[in-house]
Each structure stands twice: as C-alpha cells, then as structure tokens.
Chains A and B, each alone.
Chain A
Amino acid sequence: MTETLAGWRRRLGGEHLPYVDSRIYTDATIFEEELAKIWRRTWLLVSHESELPEPLDFRTTTIAREPVVIVRGEDGKVRAFLNVCPHRGALLLRQPAGNLRNANPSGSPKRITCMFHAWQFDAAGQCTSITRRSAGYQERLDCSQVSLKELPCEVAYGGFVWVHLEASAPPLRASMGNAFDALLPHLETEPLEVFHHHKAIVTTNYKFWHDTNSEFYHDYMHHFNRVTSMKQPGYFDRRYAPFSNGHVTISSMQVKYTAYEQDDVVLADSRDLSFPGLETNGWKLLDLFPGITLNLRGSALRIDTMTPLAPDKVLIEFRGLGLKKDTPDARARRVRDHNTIWGPFGRNLPEDLLGVVNQGLGVRPGSESLHILHGRFEDNSIHDEIGLRCYYREWSRRMNRLASAPDEAPPDAITAEPQSSSLGNGVH
C-alpha cells in the first residue's frame, strides 16, 4: 500500500517492455499538433469512386476541421475542393451526398452555388457567376480570381478516393510504399462497390481505435473470433509485416465461419463467395497510418476511416464493399456476411467499440499518465504487438516527440526509415 498512484501507473514498461505514455491519447496540445503535423499532411481515404458513379455526383466530408467536397466532373474526373465559398466563408454543399444536375433555390443546374449570395462554381471549381459583379466590384474582382480551392486528389488502390490538404503533397504511391502489395490483386481485378456505410461518434482517442485494429490479442474479447478463428488451424501462423510510414499488414488464414452456431443453427454462413484471388474464407488486413484500415474477410471488404474530433472523441466511418458485378443474390450474401460481424447490430463491432470506450474511460484527460504496454513479442505472429510499435515509431517521427516520453524529442535513429528489425526495442 506504500506505492503511489503515479508509481503504479508507471510501474510497467522499459527498455525491454515497450510502452507509450497515455498523455499521447489525452493531451489537448498534442491533439492539436497531431492535426497540424499528421492529419493535415497525410493522404487520407475519404470515399470510393462507386459513391460518385455519375457525372456531377458529390460527397462531402471533413479533414482536420476543413470542410471538403469530392465532385465527379462532367469530364468524369474526380476532384476535391475545400467546401467553402471564397466570398464570405460559408459552407457550400450541405448534404452528405448528391448530384449537381438540379438547381438549388438560389442557383443554376450543374453548379455549386453558395446559398448566401449566389456565387456559382462549376464542377471543376471554376467560378461562373458573381452576382452583380460589375455593380459592386467594378473591375477590381472577376471570376478568374475566385475559383474554389482545389486539393490534391487521386483515385487509386481499388477505386478509393484519396485527398491531401496540402498542395505540396508527396505522391500518393510514395506515401503508401509497398503496403498494398498483398491486397492489391484482390482490389483491382474487378471494380468494387460500396454497399454499407454507417458512422459512430465514440468517446475515446482515435489512436485507441487504430491500436485495436493493429493487434489481434484482443480476440479474447470476441466469442465470434474465438470460435471462428482463434481455435482454428493457422491462426497463430498469421504474420505481421511492417512497412515504412507506419503501415502494417497481416497475412491470411482460413476462417471457419460455421463454427459460430447456437443450438445447431449456423449463424455465419460459410463464405464460399470471395474476392478475386482470395482463398475461400481468407482474411487479410492492412492498417494505414494514421487511421485507415482495410479488412478483407471472406466475401466482404470493410474500410474504417476516422475523423478525430477532440482528444477524447472520434468519428469513425465504416464502409462495406463487394464487387460491382455482383448479382442481387451475391450482393445480398455479401451484405449479410458483412453485417453479421461488422454492422451496427453485428456480433463483433459493438464489442470492439466498447473496448476502446473503456480505454477512454481508464485514460482520461487530466488523469495521471499511464504506461500503455506495446510489449508482446511473438515472432511477428498474430498476438505480437509489432503493429503498434510500427505505428508509434512513425508517430514519434512525425510529431518529433517520443510516444513513450512525449516531452522529449526522439533520438536521431527514429527519424530514419523504420526497419522491421528495429521495432523491437523500447524506443518509440
């Protein structure tokens, strides 16, 4: 009973037992730095091309508090713009999705019209009308000066729409490196299509969610995963492969979905339906820094994306995808397979989210810092925590703070490209 609270919370961890300081999940200053140094300077997956199938379709989103709109132009090209009127700063498009064919009450068809003063822009971001321009601005302002702010935008890696806030963005493929190598054959053989989307605002730090997606040790929480995966052959043969820039992937196994049953009723069909090139009931996963996960399991691809809102609040979006060419029967099976586990009424997702809600309660803004262990070493196999160590090495490099001691700058070695062999020490 002589040990202090602070002593207990910092008892574990050290050179041979990697950890991070819980302040990286709770500190408001660190959170603001993350938005500036990471989220504003990273290619982010914001949508899929199937969400904008027709010319003039649009989707709205937010990146690091900046409103963004993705528009498919009349030329078929997908572009991203700041969703803000250059005149007086009003939000332009207010709906989550739509098409510009129809005029809004103060604008023309095929135009993005600011409802406030009716300035209009085409789907390529060019200004087409400043109401009563010459009367008010004479020759001091014209349309050529007030186009929408276009953002770097690419459609890649299976038709996903990627956006970067900075005009000086590095090439998307340089940011991804070889991270997609294992998944790409399954994503680019056939066009994909989104069939599911739901959102959850969760009271926790965004990194706790990515942590959960980056380790499988928490399978002990899920009855579903225990019976369909952990007890099946090959589970402990799965291996993590870390990449540069904080990305990590894990190799496949064959899941036995029919093991999830009650009273002889099988509740999860065998996934004889699959993705191109994926073994039947296969399961591959890719975690991308700083908060994107592609989870290809059996017949469905799940995509998690995050919008950090505060140190203890995050918006998580969940998408489910199948093949564009699916028959109605095949699509119904993919939807059922996906939502049995991952829908808002699925068997796993509420438990995963409850897990990170509990972390957010155990580690709160203002509470004594806690050493959060990332110290499992199992030859990079499925319960190894190399995914976490890979992520926080990149976090430390980007933030110029040690995740294990956020008041300190990282050593020079951590600014180098991470190698798998260097992720075992306690410095991250």
Chain B
Amino acid sequence: MSSVPKRSELRAAVEDVLYASAVHLDSQKFESWLQLTAPEFRYRITSYSHDLRKDMTWLDHDRAGLTALLAILPKHHVNGAQWLRQTVLYTLDDDGPDAVRAVSSLAVFQTVLDVGDAHVDGGSSRLFAAGHYQDRLRLEGGRFLLSDRNVRLDTRQLGIGSHLIP
C-alpha cells in the first residue's frame, strides 16, 4: 500500500469519488459517472424484505450492461424529476492490496416535474429512497475507481419506481 495516502488523505480521496459520483448521477452525466468505475464494475440494488424475511436483488448489472441500460433511457418514459443524492461516508476499511470498502449513508430526494400533477405538485421535493452505498474501490493510476457498488435500500415503497438508478 505504499502508493496509498495516509488515513485522512485516503478518506478524502474516497470521498472525492463518492461525491463526484453523486454529482454526475444527479446531473445525469452518465458517461462521466461511468468514468469513475473500473472495467470489472458491478452495480446492484438490493433490499431486505420484511414481508418475505429474505434478501432481494432488484437490479444487477456489469459495466457493459449498465452502460447499455443508461444509453437506452431515451426510448423509455423516464420520470423527469430532478434527483438529489445526499451521501455521507460512514466507514472505510482496507480490502486487500490497493483496495478499500466504504459504507455511506444515502438519501435520494426527487423534485417533481412530470409525475403527478405538474400544476399542483411540480417543484415540490420528496424523499424517494433511503439506504446505504456499500462500495468497493481500488487504486488504479493513482486514483480510486468504483469496482463494486451495492445500493442497499431500506425503502421498499418506491411509488411508481424508476428507470434511473440511485
């Protein structure tokens, strides 16, 4: 880990990726967001069902699949709400050579545009989902890349759902 910075610098480096990820996803700059991910990147959305008393996997894609999924969005009727991802890094642990695991809180807000009555509800903001990012990042070329992200949602009622990803 000679190339890994000191603990405070390590934390700051991971936070840079975490917050850049939120900024790119909020602005729907998916290509910029994908540049934060490693070639082996895997993205999942999971939740625990208290109704079934089982884990559920709601979305599971590798990088190529996720890239295609995001590229095809214009062919779908996507909720036009503005998303705001609020995330705070909670824990950071070493995960082998040049790799770390990071757990962050996640709250996703939506500001209504076209789902619901745009005249009445448009411009209002509401909590869409709460949960955590469970990330794995690894160093490559002196910067951290996301190699695995599990969006672990506490929220199990998501209204009409979403084509976009938290």
Interface residues in chain A, defined as those with a beta carbon under 8 Å from any beta carbon in chain B: 51, 59, 95-98, 194-203, 221, 223, 261-263, 265, 267, 332, 335-336, 339, 343-347, 349-351, 353-354, 357, 361
Contacts and interface: CB of A to CB of B under 8 A. Distances in A.
Contact of A202 (B45, B69, B160, B165): B160
Nearest to B56: A196
A347 B76 contact: yes
A197 B49 contact: yes
B65 A265 contact: yes
A261 to B, nearest CB: 7
A351 B161 CA distance: 9
Interface in B50-91: 50-54, 56-60, 64-65, 67-69, 71-72, 75-77, 79
Given A265-B67, A351-B77, A354-B115, A344 B158 contact: yes
B142 interface: no
Contacts of A339: 57-60
A97 B50 contact: yes
A198 to B, nearest CB: 6
B59 to A, nearest CB: 5
Given A261-B68, A265-B67, A353 B51 contact: no
B53 A97 contact: yes
Interface of B: 45, 49-54, 56-60, 64-65, 67-69, 71-72, 75-77, 79, 115-117, 156-163, 165
5 contacts: A196-B56, A197-B56, A263-B68, A345-B59, A351-B76
Contacts of A194: 52
A335 B159 contact: no
A96 B51 contact: yes
A228 B2 CA distance: 52
Given A223-B75, A223-B76, A345-B58, A200 B161 contact: yes
Nearest to B151: A345
Contact of B54 (A59, A195, A221, A346): A195
